[in-house]
């Protein structure tokens, strides 16, 4: 039987530590965010040009207590108000995940309330429920982050069919690598987006990769190599580089492929709703291209606010709620699973 402490409402304390954000949130009934605290380590990792796993784990340990306390405080809640603990247990960096999982297990044990392990991608997808109260499955969701590029049919809450994925680099990873090549630093996505606004997106015809044996699969490593070759070619010829044109043309190539695949899939699977999620979903060129493509086809388009696109715990709380009411419970042997597959239960 589901026990509720808040007059028929379910309050979930959610924890996310899969990469370089230590985050905690209190979410009511899956859709209302009572607090959403994010402690980002970006400044630390910037020094190294990317996330250093060992540093990430250590920072999570230092921060997690404070972040959880702040989440409760901001929600004007105490541990007594919480009905269940939801935590990301994969995929991600194993040492980073372990900090959140161990913390969540100890809270759940100490408070005597259920523990729910959440797949990080299920969290990203569920971020869409928070600001789109009317959104319900089935819908198509394009998850584009630093670690993943997945085209997913969300058949129901907790039921996912992956119809396309990247064969090599994730879209966000390509943004980060190209940003490094043109000297913008980490994280590359927002920097490429800003620079692209000053450039001509038709200036350089970078390739739009098609994967022969997987209609909806993606490949971004060829595009990344094409950008690097273009840069090297210019340098060898002594030609000056226009970084803004490179950024704009690269971004356009990524956006064209993402939008193209999503629209083909929406048509084939007769989806009337399409959502986006993950860090790259905060990119305004991508958002407006999706918006237009969906409008042209009479498809309803959904996206989270930028703060709910990049890693956060509110999305884990939203996913946690639907898993909670579906009866998902984990026990004390819950472990971090760095390569957890979407839909897999461990
Ligand atoms: O979802 P997220 O915070 O973490 C993962 O689960 O990977 O995504 C981070 C990724 C990074 O690769 C970052 O460069 C990219 O999202 N990103 C963006 C933008 N903001 C973040 N990419 C393009 N445009 C943006 N505005
Ligand atoms: Zn993420």
**Residues 189-232: tens digit of each pLDDT:** 999 999 999 999 999 999 998 888 889 999 999 999 999 999 99
Note the pLDDT tens digit of each residue in 81-109: 999 999 999 999 999 999 999 999 999 99
Residue 169 in contact with ligand 1 by CB distance below 6 A: no
Atom from ligand 1 closest to the CA of residue 170: 12
The tokens for 305 are: 């606010």
Distance 111 CA to ligand 1 centre (A): 35
Adjacent-strand bridge partners of 300: 273
Distance 36 CA to ligand 2 centre (A): 15
Exposed/middle/buried for 156, CB within 10 Å: 0-12, 13-18, 19+?
exposed
Atom from ligand 1 closest to the CA of residue 186: 14
Instruction: Give the SS3 label for residue 112.
Output: coil
Asked if 199 and 249 touch (Cβ cutoff 8 Å), the reply is: yes
Note the pLDDT tens digit of each residue in 115-143: 999 999 999 999 999 999 999 999 999 99
Residue 121 in contact with ligand 1 by CB distance below 6 A: no
Given a cut of 80, whether residue 3 has pLDDT beyond it is: no
Q: What is the mean pLDDT of the chain?
A: 95
Residue 189 in contact with ligand 1 by CB distance below 6 A: yes
Query: How many angstroms separate the CA atoms of 128 and 76, rounded?
Result: 24
Distance 20 CA to ligand 2 centre (A): 10
Beta strands in the chain (DSSP E): 11-16, 21-28, 32-40, 84-90, 115-119, 139-144, 149-156, 159-165, 273-277, 300-302
Confidence at 345, pLDDT banded by 50, 70, 90: low
Overall average pLDDT of the 302-328 stretch:
98
CA angle 266, 340, 21 (to 5 degrees): 90
Give residue for tokens 């959140």.
100
Note the pLDDT tens digit of each residue in 38-97: 999 888 888 888 889 999 999 999 999 999 999 999 999 999 999 999 999 999 999 999
The tokens for 20 are: 């370089």
The tokens for 275 are: 């959502």
The tokens for 98 are: 């372990």
Question: Taking Cα atoms as reference points, which of 81, 86, 80 lies closest to residue 25?
Answer: 86
Give residue for tokens 């760095």.
338
Residue 138 in contact with ligand 1 by CB distance below 6 A: no
Find the ligand nearest to 145 CA: 1
Phi/psi of residue 34, each to 5°? -85, -30
Query: How many angstroms separate the CA atoms of 217 and 249, rounded?
Result: 21
Residue 282 in contact with ligand 1 by CB distance below 6 A: yes
Exposed/middle/buried for 238, CB within 10 Å: 0-12, 13-18, 19+?
exposed
Note the pLDDT tens digit of each residue in 140-166: 999 999 999 999 999 999 999 999 999
What is the 8-class DSSP label of residue 132? -
Distances (CA, A) of 24 to 59, 66, 71, 266, 312: 15, 10, 6, 34, 7
* Nearest protein CA to atom 21 of ligand 1, as residue: 279
Note the pLDDT tens digit of each residue in 238-296: 999 999 999 999 999 999 999 999 999 999 999 999 999 999 999 999 999 999 999 99
The tokens for 132 are: 């789109």
Atom from ligand 1 closest to the CA of residue 171: 12
């Amino acid at each position: 039987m589901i026990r509720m402490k808040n007059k028929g409402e379910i309050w979930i304390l959610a924890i996310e530590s899969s990469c370089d954000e230590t985050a905690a949130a209190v979410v009511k009934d899956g859709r209302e965010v009572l607090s959403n605290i994010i402690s980002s380590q970006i400044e630390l990792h910037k020094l190294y040009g990317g996330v250093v796993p060992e540093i990430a784990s250590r920072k999570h340990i230092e921060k997690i207590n404070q972040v959880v306390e702040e989440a409760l405080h901001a929600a004007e809640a105490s541990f007594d108000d919480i009905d269940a603990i939801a935590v990301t247990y994969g995929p991600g960096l194993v040492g980073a995940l372990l900090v959140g999982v161990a913390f969540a297990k100890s809270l759940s044990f100490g408070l005597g309330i259920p523990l729910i392990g959440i797949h990080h991608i299920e969290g990203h997808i569920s971020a869409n429920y928070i600001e789109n109260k009317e959104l319900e499955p089935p819908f198509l969701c394009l998850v584009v982050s630093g670690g993943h590029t997945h085209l997913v049919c969300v058949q129901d809450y907790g039921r996912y069919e992956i119809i396309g994925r990247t064969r090599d680099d994730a879209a966000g990873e390509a943004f980060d690598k190209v940003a490094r090549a043109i000297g913008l630093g980490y994280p590359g996505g927002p920097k490429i987006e800003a620079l692209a606004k000053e450039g001509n997106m038709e200036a350089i015809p970078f390739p739009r990769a098609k994967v022969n044996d997987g209609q909806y699969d993606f490949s971004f490593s060829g595009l990344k190599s094409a950008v690097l070759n273009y840069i090297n070619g210019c340098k060898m010829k002594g030609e000056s580089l226009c970084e803004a044109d490179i950024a704009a043309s690269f971004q356009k190539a990524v956006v064209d492929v993402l939008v193209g695949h999503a629209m083909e899939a929406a048509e084939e699977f007769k989806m009337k709703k399409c959502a986006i999620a993950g860090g790259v979903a905060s990119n305004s060129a991508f958002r407006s291209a999706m918006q237009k493509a969906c409008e042209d086809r009479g498809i309803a388009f959904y996206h989270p606010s930028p703060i709910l696109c990049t890693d956060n715990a509110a999305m884990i709380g939203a996913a946690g709620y639907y898993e909670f009411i579906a009866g998902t419970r984990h026990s004390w042997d819950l472990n971090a699973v760095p390569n957890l597959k979407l839909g897999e239960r461990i």
